[in-house]
């Protein structure tokens, strides 16, 4: 009889219940969610006690969320789902610079700076010259490309995580290319840091035998009229966590050179990287 | 290079990250969660905007949870997952009474009552005599079986939902069988009612073109030494929502007869039902 539940027909029973006039994409997504979640429960033979643990975990994850903390995004991150969604929605030709996740620390409205200026305002860390060009897929320079950049400071924190400690807009800035498509600015060699691991997702990582660290990286959003927006990081190649990023953000093509220079007593760096954008 | 993310190898990359010394069941469950969630995202081509909607939905679902409300259980219920977990964990021979979900309204410690007594304390509703026997799979009566019963009142609310309105333990009681395995008590013919639909799950049901109602039912937990615990309901057969229970709790074998009797001006009912338990 229609509508009655059985283990064998569970997917069909639930999906047959949808109304005929609902949004077609809603119907498609929900049907797939039911198919895959039921298959998961059947495959692992989820026990009643484990089901209660899952309910408890999801509830705790939701309850710790606030204006300053998004634990479900963190969960998506450590499951590789954020990177997967990013990958699916940003498939590009081989020659184009690859996307990676935006992360939670971008702030719109960072100061526009002149080429060559520094973004590091707290005097901490090892100075690094970031430079390169913004190109189209034929290698031609893009004029008027906007490079929005942000990184952590030498203690591993973004300015918004330490509003009382760091100067506002520390390690942030926006640069616009000229006719040569070139960019150059000073910042610091970024450092690795842990994602917030004092909540349910941190406990999950511990239970999985995983550490919460992200390898050192600097974030970029590169936009130009007529081109697809590029959201990416570049990574420092020798980082201990490069092949074990807690959020799976690393792609091989995004590992940038960091060239060491001894300027007297001081160590400074140069990290050259070209961005290649696809046309809309 | 190992540890780097790509769309094609996303599942392997995430699962390879688990530590070697973790709990084997944790590893098995997490690996399956990753396999199925990544397959889901790939199959539907989840967009960035849809991903944000999912994050928002899960967050709202967690945030509305409280000591009095468990929205994630409700979500599991309307997805058929609660019934699926119940089914997987309570596979029984054909002759045994089938399980269905416990629901959120069971309260331990209901009053022990003598056979034939009523559980309805608020004087509302149409009186119903519930009676039958508790049997083993050979049809032999089980002595000392404990029947813990609860239902909504004629307004569609459980006593715990209306502590200021209903008498404590209204429509609840515990009965213990004698040597004949028989039970009998008076209650009311239960009525259909909506699950809480003023939160995220209610919005989901609306988007799916589904109503929030459960068909009229009465809950039972039947226990006896040496037998598997039975958690079930019986349903009133002519209910409008019988084939569209919002939580998929109905099984055909649990639809019980409700025999109408005209006692002078009053309508009363009799609902006979035998429970058949499996040995541990």
Chain B residues in contact with A81 by the CB 8 A cut-off are: 37-38, 41, 51
**Is residue B220 a contact partner of residue B233, using CB atoms and an 8 Å limit?**
yes
Query: pLDDT grade, residue A267 (50/70/90)?
Result: confident
User: Per-residue confidence of chain B (280 residues) as pLDDT tens digits?
Assistant: 456 899 999 999 999 999 999 999 999 999 999 999 999 999 999 999 999 999 999 999 999 999 888 999 999 999 999 999 999 999 999 999 999 999 889 999 999 999 999 999 999 999 999 999 999 999 999 999 999 999 999 999 999 999 999 999 999 999 999 999 999 999 999 999 999 999 999 999 999 999 999 999 999 999 999 999 999 999 998 899 999 999 999 999 999 999 999 878 888 999 999 999 999 9
Q: Which of A26, A88, A248 sits opposite B41 (nearest CB)?
A: A88
Taking a contact as any Cβ pair under 8 Å apart, which residues of chain A between 133 and 192 contact chain B? none
pLDDT (tens digit per residue) in B117-134: 999 999 999 999 999 999
In whole angstroms, give the CA distance from residue B207 to residue B41. 20
In whole angstroms, give the CA distance from residue A91 to residue A98. 8
- Residue B31 placed within a domain: no
Cβ of residue A268 closer than 8 Å to a chain B Cβ = no
- Taking residues A259-267, report their average pLDDT: 85
Question: For the purposes of burial, counting CB atoms within 10 Å of the CB of B120, is it exposed (0-12), middle (13-18) or buried (19 or more)?
Answer: buried
In whole angstroms, give the CA distance from residue B61 to residue A62. 7
In whole angstroms, give the CA distance from residue A45 to residue A77. 26
**Is residue A64 a contact partner of residue A200, using CB atoms and an 8 Å limit?**
yes
DSSP code of B254?
G
- CA within 13 Å, CB half, A199: 21
Amino acid B1: pLDDT: 44
DSSP code of A253?
G
Amino acid A237: pLDDT: 84
> Beta strand B182-188 with B127-136: parallel, antiparallel or unpaired?
antiparallel
Q: Nearest chain B residue to A91 by CA: give it.
A: B7
This prediction has a pTM of 0.93
Query: pLDDT grade, residue A263 (50/70/90)?
Result: confident
DSSP code of B227?
B
Amino acid B238: pLDDT: 85
Cβ of residue A88 closer than 8 Å to a chain B Cβ = yes
Place of tokens 């200021």: B164
Q: Which two tokens stand for residue A132?
A: 């390169």
Amino acid B119: pLDDT: 98
- Residue B45 placed within a domain: no
Q: For residue A225, give the 3-state DSSP assignment.
A: coil
CA distance to partner chain A, nearest, from residue B52 (Å): 9
DSSP code of B145?
-
Instruction: For the beta carbon of residue B12, count every other beta carbon within 10 angstroms.
Output: 14
Amino acid B197: pLDDT: 95
In whole angstroms, give the CA distance from residue B136 to residue B142. 6
- Residue A189 placed within a domain: yes
Q: Helices A81-88 and B48-63: crossing angle, nearest 10°?
A: 150
- Examine the pLDDT at A235 and tell me if it is beyond 50: yes
Q: Who contacts B216 (Cβ-Cβ below 8 Å, separation ≥6)?
A: B189, B190, B191, B192, B235, B236, B239
In whole angstroms, give the CA distance from residue B133 to residue B221. 14
Q: Who contacts A124 (Cβ-Cβ below 8 Å, separation ≥6)?
A: A153, A154, A155, A188
> Beta strand A259-263 with A266-272: parallel, antiparallel or unpaired?
antiparallel
pLDDT (tens digit per residue) in A5-53: 999 999 999 999 999 999 999 999 999 999 999 999 999 999 999 999 9
Chain A residues in contact with B243 by the CB 8 A cut-off are: 1-4
CB-CB under 8 Å, B20 with A84 = no
Instruction: For the beta carbon of residue B21, count every other beta carbon within 10 angstroms.
Output: 8
ipTM score here? 0.93
Taking a contact as any Cβ pair under 8 Å apart, which residues of chain B between 229 and 258 contact chain A? 242-245, 248-252
Chain B residues in contact with A80 by the CB 8 A cut-off are: 5, 10, 13-14, 34, 38
Phi and psi at A182, nearest 5°, equal -85, 150
- Residue B129 placed within a domain: yes
Instruction: For the beta carbon of residue A134, count every other beta carbon within 10 angstroms.
Output: 28
pLDDT (tens digit per residue) in A176-223: 999 999 999 999 999 999 999 999 999 999 999 999 999 999 999 999
Chain A residues in contact with B33 by the CB 8 A cut-off are: 40, 79
Amino acid A1: pLDDT: 44
Amino acid B2: pLDDT: 59
Cβ of residue A49 closer than 8 Å to a chain B Cβ = no
Q: Is B165 left (phi over 0), alpha (psi -120 to 50) or beta?
A: alpha
Cβ of residue B89 closer than 8 Å to a chain A Cβ = yes
- Residue A187 placed within a domain: yes
In whole angstroms, give the CA distance from residue A104 to residue A214. 13
CB-CB under 8 Å, B5 with A46 = no
Domain that holds residue A146: 94-277
Spell out the SS3 assignment of A86-128: HHHCCCCCCCCCCCCCCCCCCCCCCCECCCCCECCCCCCCCEE
CB-CB under 8 Å, B83 with A72 = no
Mean pLDDT score across all residues of chain A: 95
Amino acid B213: pLDDT: 97
Taking a contact as any Cβ pair under 8 Å apart, which residues of chain A between 54 and 73 contact chain B? 55, 58-63, 65, 70, 72-73
Instruction: For the beta carbon of residue A256, count every other beta carbon within 10 angstroms.
Output: 19
Max distance between CA atoms of chain A, in angstroms, equals 84
- Residue B16 placed within a domain: no
Q: Which two tokens stand for residue B127?
A: 């009186």
Cβ of residue A22 closer than 8 Å to a chain B Cβ = yes
**Is residue A188 a contact partner of residue A125, using CB atoms and an 8 Å limit?**
yes
* CATH number of the domain encompassing residue A117: 2.60.130.10
**Is residue A117 a contact partner of residue A173, using CB atoms and an 8 Å limit?**
yes
In whole angstroms, give the CA distance from residue B9 to residue A263. 43
Interface test with B, best of A28, A57, A58 (most B CBs within 10 A): A58
Phi and psi at A220, nearest 5°, equal -135, 140
Q: State the Cα torsion A272-A276-A277-B2 to the nearest 10°.
A: -90
CA pseudo-torsion sign A182, A186, A189, A194: negative
Q: Which of B1, B18, B48 sits opposite A89 (nearest CB)?
A: B48
- Residue B105 placed within a domain: yes
Selection from B132, B154, B149 nearest residue B271 by Cα: B132
Query: pLDDT grade, residue A2 (50/70/90)?
Result: low
Domain count, chain A: 1
Q: For residue A31, give the 3-state DSSP assignment.
A: helix
Cβ of residue B2 closer than 8 Å to a chain A Cβ = yes
pLDDT (tens digit per residue) in A113-166: 999 999 999 999 999 999 999 999 999 999 999 999 999 999 999 999 999 999
- Residue A153 placed within a domain: yes
Selection from B172, B175, B174 nearest residue B188 by Cα: B172
Taking a contact as any Cβ pair under 8 Å apart, which residues of chain B between 203 and 222 contact chain A? 207-210
């Amino acid at each position: 009889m229609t509508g009655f539940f059985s283990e064998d027909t569970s997917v069909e029973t639930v999906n047959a219940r949808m109304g005929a006039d609902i949004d077609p994409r809603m119907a498609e997504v929900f049907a797939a969610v039911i198919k895959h979640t039921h298959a998961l429960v059947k495959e692992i033979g989820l026990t009643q006690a484990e089901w209660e643990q899952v309910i408890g975990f999801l509830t705790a994850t939701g309850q710790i969320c606030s204006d300053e903390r998004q634990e479900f995004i963190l969960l998506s991150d450590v499951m590789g789902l954020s990177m997967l969604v990013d990958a699916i929605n940003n498939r590009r030709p081989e020659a184009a610079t690859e996307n990676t996740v935006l992360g939670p620390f971008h702030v719109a409205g960072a100061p526009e700076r002149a080429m060559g200026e520094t973004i590091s305002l707290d005097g901490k860390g090892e100075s690094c010259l970031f430079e390169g060009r913004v190109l189209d897929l034929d290698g031609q320079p893009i004029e008027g490309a906007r490079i929005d950049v942000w990184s952590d400071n030498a203690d591993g924190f973004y300015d918004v995580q330490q509003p009382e400690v760091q100067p506002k807009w520390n390690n942030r800035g926006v640069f616009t290319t000229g006719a040569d498509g070139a960019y150059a600015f000073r910042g610091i060699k970024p450092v690795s840091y842990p994602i917030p691991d004092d909540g349910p997702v941190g406990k999950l990582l511990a239970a999985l035998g995983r550490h919460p660290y992200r390898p050192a990286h600097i974030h970029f959003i590169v936009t130009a009229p007529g081109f697809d927006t590029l959201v990416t990081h570049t990574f420092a190649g020798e980082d201990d966590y490069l092949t074990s990023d807690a959020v799976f953000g690393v792609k091989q093509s995004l590992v940038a050179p960091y060239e060491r220079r001894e300027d007297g007593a001081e160590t400074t760096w140069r990290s050259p990287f070209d961005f290649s954008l696809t046309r809309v």
